[in-house]
Amino acid sequence: MQRKENFLPVFLLVFVLSAGILGLSILGKTRGIEGFLQRISYSIEGSISNLFQNLPLISQNQNIKKLKAENLLLASKIMDRQKLERENQALLDQFQTAKPKSYILLPAKILGMLNFIPNISNPSSLILDKGETDGIKVGDAVIFKNNLVGKVTKVTAYLSKVDVVNNSSSSFTAKTEKGALGLIKGLGDLMILDNVLMSDALSKDDIVATMPNQNIDGVGAPTDIIVGKIISIDKNPSAVFQRAEVKSLLDFPRLSTVFIVTGIK
């Protein structure tokens, strides 16, 4: 309230002085005192500026802007810290997994998810931040913990494209924990374990894993990497083969860091 009371006399003083200077200027009486008037003018401008800065509304707006900027900076720092924690946890989890320890694994960040629609469809392919300059080749397997993510299908200098195991172009041999052999085919969100002999035992919740798929250059999926688990079985007594639906144990949209198998130790 005190600031408002101080503002009125100052405003009236400035108004009177301005009117006087304007009148003198019109009459041509300001010659020789321009410098003095300019100093007064600058002094008045500074006082008004300081006065306005100290008004409650303006000061409050500045404080709000400052708080918003600080909140944005804090939110950015929190996101960076959470991202780093996730990446560190992924590294820790991966290298505590027993079976892939005999393979050379290169951590890679997921930059893109193709054909992904939240709560409707899983991504068909992933874009990773590693490429030819990192030694990545077409056919390299990509894993997370002891689960198969997919296979590298395209490589540029600094990026690579990975078709996930559910991708409709995905096809490779696999086996169940009970020894049934078959061919995995991607269907989009699920997979089919096809060409399984009728004499082989298939059961719901059986784990399906990779068979030897690597070539002479060591490119391909390592053996005994988990593909998924059986969720249903299609067995027709008159058919030559039986088949089963298989679901990956991975939640693809929530992955942020995966590991490319680049060789054997």
Using pLDDT thresholds of 50, 70 and 90, give the confidence band for residue 67. Answer: confident
Where are any strands of DSSP class E within 89-190? 103-114, 125-128, 141-144, 147-155, 160-164, 171-176, 181-186
Under 8 Å between Cβ of 249 and 166: no
CB atoms within 10 A of CB 11: 12
Q: What's the pLDDT score for residue 110?
A: 95
| pLDDT tens, residue by residue, 13-50 | 655 666 565 555 555 555 555 555 555 555 655 555 55
Q: What's the pLDDT score for residue 9?
A: 64
Under 8 Å between Cβ of 248 and 230: no
| pLDDT tens, residue by residue, 168-179 | 999 999 999 989
Q: Show the tokens assigned to 9.
A: 């006399």
Using pLDDT thresholds of 50, 70 and 90, give the confidence band for residue 58. Answer: low
Stated as kind and residue range, the H or E segment containing 37 is: helix 34-54
Question: Rounded CA gap, 67 and 73, in Å?
Answer: 10
pLDDT > 80? residue 192: yes
Percent of the chain surpassing pLDDT 90: 48
Q: Answer whether 0.75 is exceeded by the pTM.
A: no
Q: What's the pLDDT score for residue 219?
A: 77
| pLDDT tens, residue by residue, 122-164 | 899 999 999 999 999 999 999 998 899 999 999 999 999 999 9
Q: Any idea where the domains of the chain sit in the sequence?
A: 2-54, 100-264
Q: Nearest-5° angle of CA 154, CA 156, CA 162? A: 35
| Selected residue with higher pLDDT from 206 and 97 | 206
Domain 100-264: give its CATH architecture.
Answer: Beta Barrel (2.40)
Strand 226-234 relative to strand 191-197: parallel, antiparallel, unpaired?
Answer: unpaired
